[in-house]
């Protein structure tokens, strides 16, 4: 009988814990959308800073983008790749430390 009581208490506690973890606060989907919009805005601002830097210095490297924006290597690479796909910059060099990017005139 005592084991059944402990089992029932455990099940009740488990259900409550799962309910609390799964329950979404009101407006959670709105917060998620605002977060995505903020990320997109920050990304576009970062890409604009990269373009401005290229205009001033004529070229830029991945390391320079990392330092300019305070982002990781992967994020800098992603920004440069996107700008290249948009036709705004071009990569000069094949790989390694000799790669840099120039603005397309």
Structural domains of the chain, with CATH = 40-105 (1.10.10.10)
pLDDT per residue over 11-25, tens digit each?
A: 888 888 887 777 766
Give the span between the Cα atoms of 83 and 101, in whole angstroms.
10
Contacts within 8 Å (CB) and 24+ apart, 34-38 = none
pTM of the model: 0.65
DSSP 96: G
The mean predicted confidence, pLDDT, of the chain is: 84
Identify the pLDDT of residue 92.
Answer: 87
> Inter-axis angle of helices 62-69 and 73-85, to 10 degrees?
110
Give the span between the Cα atoms of 42 and 49, in whole angstroms.
11
pLDDT per residue over 73-101, tens digit each?
A: 899 889 989 999 999 988 888 776 678 88
Percentage of the chain exceeding pLDDT 70 = 89
pLDDT per residue over 40-75, tens digit each?
A: 899 899 999 988 889 888 888 888 899 888 888 899
Identify the pLDDT of residue 18.
Answer: 82
Q: What angle do CA 97, 99, 100 make, to 5 degrees?
A: 120
Identify the pLDDT of residue 85.
Answer: 92
């Amino acid at each position: 009988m005592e084991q059944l009581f402990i089992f029932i208490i455990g099940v009740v506690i488990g259900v409550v814990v799962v309910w609390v973890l799964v329950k979404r606060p009101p407006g959670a989907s709105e917060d998620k959308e605002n977060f995505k919009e903020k990320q997109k805005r920050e990304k576009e601002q970062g890409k604009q800073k990269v373009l401005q830097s290229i205009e001033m210095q004529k070229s830029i490297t991945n390391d320079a983008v990392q330092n300019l924006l305070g982002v990781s290597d992967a994020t800098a690479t992603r920004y440069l790749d996107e700008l290249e796909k948009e036709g705004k910059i071009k990569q000069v060099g094949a790989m390694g430390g000799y790669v840099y990017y120039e603005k397309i005139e």
